Structure 1
């Protein structure tokens, strides 16, 4: 199985600019999505380098009416102390993600429950998937949810992406999207509606992925401070590294 790093993680943004220090990713289709409109540092900046890069991104985003700044830092490295102090002083939200991998053969078998049906999304399930995803994405605002809906439609037409939907008692309950690469399959956007949580819906969703791609390494990124990562550990996912990130919402002028 492939040895995985953050370099294997899919990003919707395209490279707007690259230097020896960072890659600037930009997604013109979804300007308000933080995760595809950001600067990813290739090496850890000092405070002067960060300030210069911050101004560059600030000016770039303001020109396009984008109201956020996001930076990711090199994997498995702590943020330099002076940079960290600046981020805290200027009101950035600082967090980290963790990368997990699994050989599908190591995923614990889930006892099938008759009330749970998990299916790859086809034309007949697409509207259910779009409506359920819109409901989930609405926590980030109606504009984001509407734009994400259009993005999901594009992904449905793209063979690189595969959308999966779970029904509980015939009711849409959860879903996920996967990104298919040569040697990996990335689970993205796994969610289960609150009323259907703790009913093994997430496990059934993942099991379909494992059964469908037994010869690929399955990967996912978890919020380092959220509880779902504990579920992944219990399911035999292996920890493969961490990455710090910082986000700030710009004030309206």
Structure 2
């Protein structure tokens, strides 16, 4: 059975018990997903407020300027939770898990699109596209991540691909392969080139990697991209709420 547990999780585990896992990664202090709490059981509001203070202490100690929590799969947040979360300055996001058998993904291929694995020879092309997606989150954040990609490229758990239209890099996608799954992550096409079959071409490339595996991905539950995945044949699996306070101090 597919679940959120099958999604790749970066970061270092600081502590883990039956209630939650704490990720604390000083080398990636500005990466929300590598510095957060993942609840395995739904906490009470009282416990969450206590955990909030503890996470604040941990993050301040390593100079992380955010707070982040992920709630258990398929658990809802009632009005009391929502009011309290927003009252503490958090934004609420809904992550949805989708899946499709690789051999069931049948998308039209745009012959003007060329897909390549990212190697040291074309890594700069990947970075050029990555920067354009990342810069809205800040120049410091972007350059930290660019440095991380260059530094970790040869030992990264991800395989990366870049899409070209008429020789211009216009789209990127990251893949994480496991025994059963190929996870799509970091997937995007530059806005001027959207709705031209480039995203479909990259997904078709992924589907050819291993036709016997299942492709999985996380979509923003409030984003229109999820509708595209449904039309392409992906099935909804589950959802969970994630909350982030980007400026805790």
TM-score by length of 1: 0.93
| Structure 2 match to 1:227 | 224
Deviations 1:173-225 (A, max 9, x none): 00111111111111001011111111111100111000112121111000000
Out of 216-225 and 73-82, give the one that drifted further.
Answer: 73-82
Q: Mind listing any 5+ residue stretches in structure 2 that lack a counterpart?
A: none
Determine which of 179, 184, 188 is the counterpart of 1:182.
Answer: 179
**1:80 CA displacement:** 5.1
What is the CA RMSD across the aligned residues, in angstroms? Answer: 1.5
Structure 1 residues 141 and 243 mapped into 2: Cα distance closer, same or farther (>3 Å)? same
Determine which of 206, 215, 218 is the counterpart of 2:203.
Answer: 206
CA contact (8 A) 1:160 1:181 kept: no
Runs of 4+ in structure 1 off by over 6 angstroms are none
**1:27 CA displacement:** 2.4
Determine which of 129, 136, 142 is the counterpart of 1:139.
Answer: 136
Name the SS of the counterpart of 1:226 in structure 2.
coil
**1:91 CA displacement:** 2.3
Name the SS of the counterpart of 1:144 in structure 2.
helix
What is the total number of aligned residue pairs between the two structures?
249
Determine which of 108, 127, 130 is the counterpart of 2:127.
Answer: 130
Name the SS of the counterpart of 2:155 in structure 1.
coil
- The equivalences for 1:1-253 within 5 A come to 3-79=1-77, 81-113=79-111, 115-158=112-155, 160-252=157-249
**1:246 CA displacement:** 1.1
Q: Mind listing any 5+ residue stretches in structure 1 that lack a counterpart?
A: none
